[in-house]
Homo-oligomer: A and B are copies of this chain.
Amino acid sequence: MNRIITISRQFGSGGRTIGRMVAERLNIPCYDSEIIDKVAEESGFAKDYIEKHGEYSEYKSWLGKALEHAGNGGNLSNQDRLWIAQRKVVCDLADAGPCVIVGRCADSILKGREGVVNVFIHADKAARAERIVKVYGETDIPVQKRIADKDKRRSTYYKYYTDTKWGVAENYHVALDSGKLGLDKCVDIIVDLF
């Protein structure tokens, strides 16, 4: 049984950084953008495409997607094929040894496995806006709109592929407000649970 920590996170909450810090403290690997490389290797999808479509819905309604499939003779869409490839990579990583996995619906993919701790990191919009500007810089799009768009597309993607609601407390063993608690305290709690 490999002990695995999955980290789901709101955009700008520092979840990715917390994942790295936890992995460093525990001396285990943290998989985040590395997953994109592995999926690219195994599936042949371009890294750009995986980055854009591996966690984010394309703003299509469920009906839109259903019609796309129907028009497609019921065949899998590219995004479905990407989901399958990504799902396999997440399972392979969890089989290979203890690790931290950030995003990619890993909490749902590994649901029910022994030794898995599912964490959700969130923060209020003011704290996230401050962090986003500091870490990623400003763009032409107002930061509040960037937050709303990215969360919306992540939650739609999550709902579509896992049939579960993103960000609902009962889907995670621990959910933490990184804006209120601070990154270090979040890391302490997660490391202690491991």
- Could you list which residues of chain A lie within 8 angstroms of chain B, going by C-beta atoms? 10, 117, 120, 122, 124, 167-170, 172-177, 180-181, 185, 189, 192-193
Contacts and interface: CB of A to CB of B under 8 A. Distances in A.
A64 B174 CA distance: 37
B177 A185 contact: no
Q: Which of A10, A170, A174 counts the most B-chain CB atoms under 10 A from its CB? A: A170
What is the predominant secondary structure among interface residues of chain A facing chain B?
mixed
Contacts of A193: 181, 185
A180 B176 contact: no
Nearest to A179: B173
B172 A173 contact: no
Contact of A169 (B122, B185, B189): B122
A186 to B, nearest CB: 10
A176 B174 contact: yes
A176 B177 contact: no
A115 to B, nearest CB: 11
A160 to B, nearest CB: 19
A27 B107 CA distance: 37
A128 to B, nearest CB: 10
17 contacts: A117-B180, A120-B175, A122-B169, A124-B170, A167-B169, A168-B168, A168-B169, A169-B169, A169-B172, A169-B175, A172-B175, A172-B177, A173-B180, A174-B177, A174-B181, A175-B175, A185-B193
A120 B185 contact: no
